[in-house]
Chain A
Amino acid sequence: MVFPSIEFAIFFPIVLALSWALMPWPRFWKPFILVASYGFYAAASPRYCLLLAAITIANQLGAVGVHRTASERARRWIVGVTVAFDLAVLGVFKYYGFFTDEIGGFLDTIGLGMPLPLLTLALPIGLSFITFQAISYTVDVKRGLLAPARTLDFAVYLSFFPHVVAGPIVRAREFLPQLAKPRDPRTVAVGAGVVLIVLGLIKKVVLADVLARQVVDPVFGVPLAYAGPDVWLAAYAYAAQIYCDFSGYTDIAIGVALLAGFIFPQNFNSPYRATSFGDFWRRWHITLSRFLRDFLYIPLGGNRGGRWRTARNLMITMVLGGLWHGAAWGFVLWGTVHGLALVVEHQWRFWRARAAAEPDSPGAAAVRAVGRVFAPAWVRWAVVFNVVTFAWVLFRAESLTLAGDFFGQLFVAGPATLWTPLTVAAVVVVIGFQLLPPNPLERLRLRFASLPAPALGVVLAVVVAIVGATVPGDGVPPFIYFQF
């Protein structure tokens, strides 16, 4: 079930009303919200509920087992087996086809035959998000940062409908304490929730989908059919589209959770405002970034082993982060580009610090000269934004051949057939709003969120109606991150 759908418009008001009605009695509320969340998830395919239940049971057994075991060796084994189960589920559904097609194809070509049958497996919606949350729970229990939750609480955490299909990746320590006692019906962030839902709908349906239909899909589908002006526009339009699509989804998810009395962590923070690549990753898909940091980068050693180890760890983290998005070489290359950018940034910081400490050292003058070029924040912003934007091409293109076609067409002269006032304005608005000073926008948001409830209801109805009217007959396309 997607948020901008008639099904959800029927589901949510009923579930919200019953949820608040049952909230004072957790022994009724928890089973109710569990059933509602499984119902929400089952709308994609009821069979996937079995998988969700299996992941829940396996990780709860692992967490309880590790908590009750004194031997460190046994605890490691339990966590290892549990995490291996999670990754195996993810691996089978997400990477089986890629493995058999790419690796198996190679083996077949050199005469070794296909090692596994060629099959296509449907990826259960939201599986990556579910498994990451499950892993974070089990590992945090192993680390002693969290006590095992009651099975019902853990099941509610993993399946809670606002975040089950596309995040944000809410950590158990952020969510489980909110189940400890009923949510206070006198302190609900109603205005903030409605603002987020409204903004999310506009971002997804009005901005992202229009850009996709008008510019991105045609150009990325057949880059050779378009000349440079359209291809440049498509690159920036995709940067705007993927931001609106994914942040729009999480805005709605966070807003829906707020109306139900729950608080989720922030997932985006004006990412195209970043003036360094590290800054970008603190603003883009924040909950994935911190997951990768805590469960991959730091266990690998983080920055504690010197420059080369740090570079290695950054590359591994970013390449695997790319692969997390899907089984395709484009995602691997996209992660590689970001990894390299971070490594260069790290190295640059080292050189700059050394040049400052040892002004006469070899290369210090060159470092200072380059530093002067990148001193203005707008220069750093322009570099980061454009690298991020053109790295998205690898992410979006259906194949590396098409990505090559796309880059090749950038400098081909020709007409600008897709530069309409609507498409250009959409790109400028999406990027430009992130560059505006935050305070006026924050004041506007607070003012809007402070409207009385009836006014918020009218605004919500009008926005839903407008959004519904802009949807073409084919309906709302799936969110990009559903496939991850």
Chain B
Amino acid sequence: MTDETATDQDTRGDGAGGPAAAVPAGGVAGGGPADPGPDGSVPHDTFAVPDPPAGRLGRARDALLVVWLAVVLLVVFQGGAVREGAEELAPGVGRDIVEAVGGPTGWVADRLPFSDPADDVFARLETAGGPAAAPSGGGGGGAAALTLLVTGDSLEMPLDTELARRYAGSEVTVERDAHVGTGISKSGLVDWSQLSRRQARRFEPGAVVVFIGANEGFPLPAPGGGGQVPCCGAEWQAAYAARVGELIETYRRGGAEHVYWLTVPAPRDGARQEITDAVNAAVLAAVEAAGDGAEAIDLVEPFTPGGDYRDAIEVDGRERIVRESDGIHLNADGAAVAADLVEQAIAADRGE
């Protein structure tokens, strides 16, 4: 590489295109050559409408043709994806709009013979971006070795990392498997019944920590059949508890001697509070029904005493912010508090 070629590069758009760099030599960093004269006018006068990128110019109707042709092709080959995508969105205007579009696009795709072949082709690509295994333990294989699976939705993400850091180099290997945006009461994105079976096979955990509940509140099938039950009454709680119990049992059958299920601290948004209360009630009921080896770790009292939301709590004698700005998730300090509780529970069960 030479300085000459670097200069040539300045006329090229990054990753193809864009007008030539508007920054004069020196820029912020270079100082000397680009600095202004006494009147400070040099850099300021360099601003004007950027030049269009090099290459052939088309017409607006070409732009519309490109975009709408792509839309039509995507509807024909992948129209069902819009409908499925709508199921994953949180309730609101955005979801309503996507649902309104997803209905017709799905209908079109269902009636054409192109979706299935396209799905087969693209399904092969789905495995390429899967998460890496992230072992954190150093022992493995020893008599006291334990594989600890930490899983759940986005709630568990700072917690799993915190636990992995604490157990790094110990006989406990932490496997982190977060599934952001998923919920036990919504199965479009991830069906936790199936997922838990896959996790048990893949990680063979000796203990499991589950922290989930940020995306709940969707209708569930009634326990005895007979349609969908809306959140958040006793019947919904019973249905949710049945699913929690099923997951606990799956992990146990897969070899986990202990399943630690964390309750969800009260969220800031009052509208979510009812859902969180229902989830927590269901979890407590399910854990109690599951008996030995299942344990609920209560995060409501430490983080939101009396069920009242707060950003900060006292940690080690000092007030600290423990929640993220969304008023739902724990931040790093909050995760450390939760990790303390999990660590204590694990240590007690391991007789440490």
Contacts and interface: CB of A to CB of B under 8 A. Distances in A.
Interface in B101-138: 101, 118, 122-123, 125-126, 128-138
Interface string B153-172: 00000000100110011000
Interface in B1-17: 1-3, 5-6, 8-17
A10 B269 CA distance: 29
Given A188-B62, A465-B122, A273 B9 contact: yes
A50 to B, nearest CB: 17
B50 interface: yes
Contacts, number: 399
Contact of A457 (B66, B123, B324): B66
A311 B285 CA distance: 65
Interface string A380-400: 010000000000000000110
A14 to B, nearest CB: 10
Contacts of A458: 69-70, 73
Contact of A465 (B6, B30, B47, B78): B78
B94 A7 contact: yes
Interface string B134-156: 11111000000000000000000
A122 B1 contact: no
Nearest to B15: A199
B9 A450 contact: no
A407 B50 CA distance: 42
Nearest to B102: A6
Interface string B32-45: 10111000100111
B326 A122 contact: yes
A268 B126 CA distance: 30
Interface in B283-318: 311-312, 318
Query: Which bracket fits the contact residues of A?
Result: 35 or more
Contact of A468 (B31, B81, B327): B81
Interface string B41-78: 00111011111111111111111111111110110011
Most buried by B among A192, A251, A466: A192
A445 B20 CA distance: 15
Contacts of B179: 473-474
Contact of A222 (B10, B94, B168): B168
A409 B180 CA distance: 29
B50 A437 contact: no
B173 to A, nearest CB: 9
A281 B28 CA distance: 7
B234 interface: no
Contacts of B74: 9, 461, 464-465
Given A302-B36, A475-B88, A13 B68 contact: yes
Interface in A73-132: 97, 100-101, 105, 108-109, 114, 118-123
Nearest to A304: B35
B230 interface: no
A435 B9 CA distance: 10
A275 B6 contact: yes
Given A188-B59, A263-B51, A377-B3, A454 B8 contact: no
A281 B14 contact: no
Among B11, B53, B97, max chain A CB count under 10 A is at B53
Contact of B60 (A9, A188, A221, A377): A188
The CB with the most chain B CB atoms within 10 A, among A175, A290, A466, A471, is that of A290
Contacts of B122: 465-466, 468-469
A360 interface: no
A308 to B, nearest CB: 13
B48 A298 contact: no
B241 to A, nearest CB: 25
Contact of A437 (B5, B18, B118): B5
Contacts of B98: 6-7, 10
A149 to B, nearest CB: 14
A66 interface: no
A302 B35 contact: yes
B323 interface: yes
B193 interface: no
Nearest to B313: A118
Contacts of B137: 225
Interface stretch (A15-23, A158-166, A364-372): A15-23
A185 B29 CA distance: 39
7 contacts: A13-B67, A188-B57, A222-B136, A265-B22, A269-B14, A402-B165, A446-B56
Q: Which 10 A-B pairs have the closest CB atoms?
A: A457-B69, A469-B122, A278-B30, A185-B60, A190-B58, A118-B312, A266-B18, A445-B16, A461-B73, A281-B29
Given A123-B325, A222-B165, A473-B189, 8 more contacts: A108-B318, A120-B331, A143-B44, A224-B136, A225-B135, A286-B23, A438-B12, A472-B126
